Amino acid sequence: MRCTECGEQLLAERAALGYDYCTSPVCQKKRYRGPKVTAIGVNKSADVFLVADDAEIVRRGEAGEFGKKNTSLGIDYRGAVATAPPPAAPRPIHPPALPTARRRPWSRQQEKVVRLYHDMGCNPKQILERAAVNNPRLGITAALIKDILATPERRSR
Ligand SMILES: [Zn+2]
């Protein structure tokens, strides 16, 4: 069987599919009618579905629109251009951030004492003095008092 457009020998499997024209761009352009849906694999996104004819898809592919891996798109291509799946998201190196309350670099007990004295009307210096006398093992420092009082009170659970 030969192409009805250019007379070239038609591939047997193409003839078997019911085509009477070959795969050359010229004959495709003359004979192909109607849009078709082609899935184009686009890196880092879901497949993009195009409604376009073969020639347009090839033209757009060659223009680089679909990225390098799709430039080999054949003129007679049918079906999805699914290539390698997108790379998996990199695993986080650090564990997920802890809830705010647990990110505070002081203990619950330290905060409790500082806030208690603060609520009693002590200024930071007085808090430091009281803590040193009454709660020496908590290791409360002036910097810690400043940090605790500058931070919103953590909510009890
Ligand atoms: Zn032909």
Q: pLDDT tens digits for the chain (157 residues)? A: 899 999 999 988 888 988 999 989 999 888 877 666 666 666 666 666 666 667 777 777 777 776 655 444 554 545 555 566 666 766 666 655 555 555 678 999 999 999 999 999 999 999 999 999 998 999 999 999 999 999 888 776 5
The answer to whether position 156 is within a domain reads no
The answer to whether position 89 is within a domain reads no
Closest by Cα among 98, 100, 96, 138 to 116: 138
Are 125 and 111 within one domain? yes
The alpha carbon of 19 and the centre of ligand 1 are apart by a number of angstroms equal to 11
Which residue carries 């073969």 as its tokens? 54
The alpha carbon of 56 and the centre of ligand 1 are apart by a number of angstroms equal to 18
Neighbours of ion ligand 1 (CB under 5 A): 3, 5-6, 8, 22, 24, 27
The alpha carbon of 75 and the centre of ligand 1 are apart by a number of angstroms equal to 13
The CA–CA distances, whole Å, from 152 to 101, 106, 115, 147 equal 10, 13, 11, 10
The answer to whether position 42 is within a domain reads yes
Are 43 and 22 within one domain? no
Domain range for 131 is 100-149
The alpha carbon of 57 and the centre of ligand 1 are apart by a number of angstroms equal to 19
The alpha carbon of 87 and the centre of ligand 1 are apart by a number of angstroms equal to 40
Are 124 and 144 within one domain? yes
Which residue carries 């004492």 as its tokens? 113
The alpha carbon of 59 and the centre of ligand 1 are apart by a number of angstroms equal to 19
The answer to whether position 154 is within a domain reads no
**Environment class of residue 128 by beta-carbon count within 10 Å: exposed (0-12), middle (13-18) or buried (19+)?**
buried
Q: Which helix (H) or strand (E) holds 52?
A: strand 48-52
The answer to whether position 91 is within a domain reads no
**Domains in the chain, number:** 3
The alpha carbon of 77 and the centre of ligand 1 are apart by a number of angstroms equal to 16
The answer to whether position 90 is within a domain reads no
Torsional sign, CA 124, 130, 132, 137? negative
pLDDT attached to residue 138: 92
Distant-in-sequence, close-in-space partners of 51: CB < 8 Å, separation ≥ 6 = 35, 36, 37
Are 15 and 40 within one domain? no
Report the predicted TM-score, pTM, of the whole model to 2 decimal places: 0.35
Are 43 and 79 within one domain? yes
